[in-house]
Amino acid sequence: MLNKSRLTTSIVLATAALLLVPPPLLAADRPVATSAAKDISLTRDGQLQGRVLDSQGRPVEGASLRIRKGDQEQGQAITADQGEFRFAGMKSGLYVLEVAGQPHQLRLWSPQIAPPGAVNDLRLVAGDPTVRGQFGYLDPLNTSFLLLGVAGVTLSAISLNEINEVEKHVKALSP
């Protein structure tokens, strides 16, 4: 009876531990922008223009850029010697611009309707983002899996304790 109890405990704990690991199918297949969207005013002829700089403020030549709207890629570019880039034929809307794989969320506006805070010339810093004293981003899905796993392990431990107590009472009553 004792070996069966240990086996049951091991199976329940192993199953609960699996809840802590989210399925790989839920992982994003490309970087997701987690920062707030930047308001950018397009030129009159619909161009998005800007520069890519390093963390020291120096232009980055040859940086790879990709812009997409939803799942549709809208264009690719490589920065020039002063870090400049341009995307022609852009329209107002929400876009994600990837600079060397690092996503930046942009809200593009035609010049006639751009809000006062929108900039004409986008400046992006390439390279590793600086994180100072921050824990990081906990997305709701992973947090849910973590909490479900902890709750499962806790409930399993309580249930197994109750089962062991019942087994003790049954043994005490048995001749």
Contact 1, 167 (CB under 8 A): yes
Residues 149-169 have a mean pLDDT of 84
Residues 76-96 have a mean pLDDT of 94
Q: Is the pLDDT of residue 66 over 60?
A: yes
More confident of the two residues 68 and 37: 68
Give the per-residue pLDDT at 159: 84
CA distance 83 to 91: 23
Element (H, E) at 7: helix 2-18
Is the full-model pTM beyond 0.85? Answer: no
Give the per-residue pLDDT at 52: 93
Least confident range of 63-77, 115-129, 141-155, 158-172 = 141-155
Q: Could you report the per-residue pLDDT of 12-58, keeping only the tens digit for each?
A: 666 666 655 555 444 445 555 556 889 999 999 999 999 999 888 89
> Hey, what domains does the chain have and what are their CATH numbers?
38-125 (2.60.40.10)
- Cite the beta strand spans of 7-152 per DSSP E: 38-41, 48-53, 64-69, 72-78, 84-87, 93-99, 102-109, 122-125
CA distance 86 to 69: 16
CA distance 149 to 143: 10
Q: How confident is residue 3, by pLDDT bands cut at 50, 70 and 90?
A: low
Give the per-residue pLDDT at 25: 42
Give the per-residue pLDDT at 26: 45
CA distances 90 to 32, 84, 94, Å, are 21, 17, 11
Q: Is the pLDDT of residue 101 over 50?
A: yes
Q: Could you report the per-residue pLDDT of 106-149, keeping only the tens digit for each?
A: 999 999 999 999 999 999 888 766 555 555 566 777 777 878 88
Of 58, 38, 51, nearest to 115 by C-alpha is 38
CA distances 171 to 2, 7, 165, 174, Å, are 12, 19, 10, 5
